Amino acid sequence: MDNLDELMALARMITYAKAVAEDLKIEPSAQSLEAALTAVTRELRRATDADVPGLEPLLSDMNIELH
């Protein structure tokens, strides 16, 4: 279960970083982070052998304000 927790934490970090890159209009970084998130999502599905509800973030609905 440790691996699953680590993969979930990694997915959350990548999701946040991608949202920040999009807010800053750094498209190459956002695209790279999207690819990384896809890979982590794939690994999570393999680890759980099932879909995890809410795994794929809806970044368009996410509002992250930079301070």
Q: Taking Cα atoms as reference points, which of 53, 39, 44 lies closest to residue 5?
A: 44
| Chain position carrying tokens 């999502």 | 41
Rounded distance between C-alpha atoms, residue 37 and residue 66, angstroms: 21
pLDDT one-digit tens code per residue, 40-60: 999 998 888 755 555 555 334
Rounded distance between C-alpha atoms, residue 29 and residue 42, angstroms: 20
Its pTM surpasses 0.85: no
pLDDT one-digit tens code per residue, 11-43: 999 999 999 999 999 999 999 999 999 999 999
